[in-house]
Structure 1
Amino acid sequence: MNTSLVSICIPVFNGEKFLQEALDSIEVQTYPYIEVIISDDGSGDSSLAICKKYQKESNFPVYIYKHKSAGIGANWNHCISKSNGEYIKFLFQDDLLLPGCIEEMLEVFEEHDEIRLVGCKRKILSDGSISWQEKWKERYGDLQKGLRGSEEKEIILNSSILKDRNFFKDPYNRIGEPTAVLFEKQLIDEIGNFREDLKIVLDIEFYYRVLTRSRILIVNKELVGFRLHEKQASRLEAEFHFAEFKLYQKILLDEYWRFLSRTHLYYLIKKRLKYFINPRRNKIR
């Protein structure tokens, strides 16, 4: 039986509405060897009080750290830096871990030596009261739809997927949000932290780095709950398309060009030339 310590990392910022439900989902995990790392990014609501109460009542280690706000990636990385586990399992403040989540993900590592990061399907949590939710679920509910092996029990991806034409079509994140993955902490030493200059695609770029060194396995089963709510609208839609899309393309061309198909590479080069021709209109930060 696996007895490796898993660090459940929870970056927190003004999450009082759903935070207790997220914390309660840890209590029902079937895997017992866990610790909880909470990094609070200067919440102004009752989030910190909820976390402190949870810390007192839990029968496993819960560590709470205050973090000076410096962006999403900085808070994620702060969580990891404080962790003691062999594996990192993110849990966002508005999401859930379904009961067998950690245990079933760890079984993948025992069965596949070459896997360094495991993902899973997500159960979409939505009350349907917001107009964009149904459209979002139709478009982003199944991130692996259309990929090779997407109907199998386990979907195994390697660097060759970066040549797949469908891999870079919307949805751009084909692995899952951080709540939907578990990975070896040693990966951080090998490929580095999440990029702190990115706000929306930092998890996607991290997965690309993993794929250039290892394989990723997606369990074709819902093991986490991903919540949709009104405050996510700008984060899930507009911010990526308008603030980071050009930077995302620049990163692909500069750092992943050798893994891309010729078609996609030529497309990115053409875009870059367009930026240089008209730099004021197409500024790349």
Structure 2
Amino acid sequence: MANNCQPRVFIGMPVYNGEKHIRETIDSILSQTFTDFQLLISDNGSTDQTGEICREYAERDERVVYCRQKENLGMAGNFNYVVQPNGADYFKWAAHDDTLEPDYLLKCVELLDSNPSLAMAHCLTNRISDDSTWLEIYKDLGLSSSRVSERFWRVLWTVNIYEIYGVIRSEAIEKTRPVGTFFGSERNRLAEVLLQGDIGYLKEALFSRRDHESSLTALHLDSKENDNFTAMQEAHAPKAKMSSIQVAVLKLNEYFESIFRFPMPWSERISCVGILLEWSVRRLLEGSSEKYRVKLYSTAESMMKIPEPSKLSA
């Protein structure tokens, strides 16, 4: 790729203390059969060898750009920092501990190029262990639908949103609001992408999500005390101190505003409002006791409580 050419895909990788897995992740990106991309790595002030590893890759491959933040921006700040498509057709977030099969970018780009109405593309997800042992192909609701309101319903109720690491049209991601300072706000941003268009899925597992004890997901699943929620919120945005109730209110308000930010038929907009009200009442009932309040965003709880889809108007 010539220096004076814009890459077609811009990949943003936020990282903090990722020395154990980041080599494997970067290698999987640099091994893509689709080569017209740039990788921006934003280091949130790591205290391990992450910086040295990333500088090594940046020195030997011009597609890799390494940036070390002067202070820890938190997960939200770092996720927002790497959203710099700069003219690229497509954008993708990359977690420092996940991996891609060689044809992932090629097939996602081909799918988006041939389907202009799609806002993003992704594939089936492998779950792998800390040592990269394959565990299973992850099964969830899937977010695709021709109906805006059904996509919105699916974003609200699906267990994990690994689609956040899919390939997104730059014009779609640039119209969304930044990841907020409340824990779990990346789901709100994904909702705004899918309010603009559908997601196309490859029927192959070309993306691997790593499960390990130090991941925020693991901390989330193990969350049983208020101290754990506080730790998750602090990791997300260190300077934004708030309770789980405050987070719930902010999340609900942002979803509501999102419904009115993007063009759609009024019948779909009304359906989205109804879906959001149903979701908020159910979550409120779950969070009405101390026992459930901390688990308000627990994926383990959500897995058992996904309701049947509401009947949508024709």
TM-score range, shorter chain: 0.7 to 0.9
- Relative to structure 1, the CA distance from residue 252 to residue 23 in structure 2 (aligned partners, 3 Å threshold; closer, same or farther) is same
Secondary structure of 2:126 counterpart: strand
1:76-225 to 2 correspondences below 5 Å: 76-81=79-84, 85-126=88-129, 141-144=138-141, 155-156=144-145, 158-162=147-151, 164=153, 168-169=156-157, 171=159, 173=160, 175-179=161-165, 181-193=166-178, 195-199=179-183, 201-225=184-208
Answer yes or no: is the 8 Å Cα contact 2:152–2:195 preserved in 1.
Answer: no
User: Following TM superposition, by how much is the alpha carbon of 1:75 offset from its aligned partner in structure 2, in angstroms?
Assistant: 0.4
Percent of aligned pairs with the same amino acid: 22
Distance 2:106 2:8 in 1: 12
* Unaligned residue ranges in structure 1 (runs of 5+): 148-154
Secondary structure of 1:45 counterpart: coil
User: Following TM superposition, by how much is the alpha carbon of 1:259 offset from its aligned partner in structure 2, in angstroms?
Assistant: 4.1
After TM superposition, the runs of 4+ consecutive aligned structure 1 residues lying more than 6 A away are 270-275, 281-284
- Relative to structure 1, the CA distance from residue 221 to residue 234 in structure 2 (aligned partners, 3 Å threshold; closer, same or farther) is same
User: Following TM superposition, by how much is the alpha carbon of 1:113 offset from its aligned partner in structure 2, in angstroms?
Assistant: 1.1
Secondary structure of 1:229 counterpart: coil
Count how many residue pairs are aligned between Structure 1 and Structure 2: 258
Distance 1:7 1:216 in 2: 18
Distance 1:218 1:274 in 2: 32
Q: Match of 2:18?
A: 15
Deviations 1:84-117 (A, max 9, x none): 5321122111111110000000011122110121
TM-score, L = length of structure 1: 0.75
Q: Match of 2:309?
A: none
CA RMSD of the aligned region, Å?
3.8
TM-score, L = length of structure 2: 0.69
* Unaligned residue ranges in structure 2 (runs of 5+): 1-5, 224-228, 234-242, 260-268, 297-314
Q: RCO higher in 1 or 2 (8 Å CA, sep ≥ 6)?
A: 1
Deviations 1:47-78 (A, max 9, x none): 000000111222x4211112232221210111
Q: Match of 1:260?
A: 272
Distance 1:272 1:123 in 2: 32
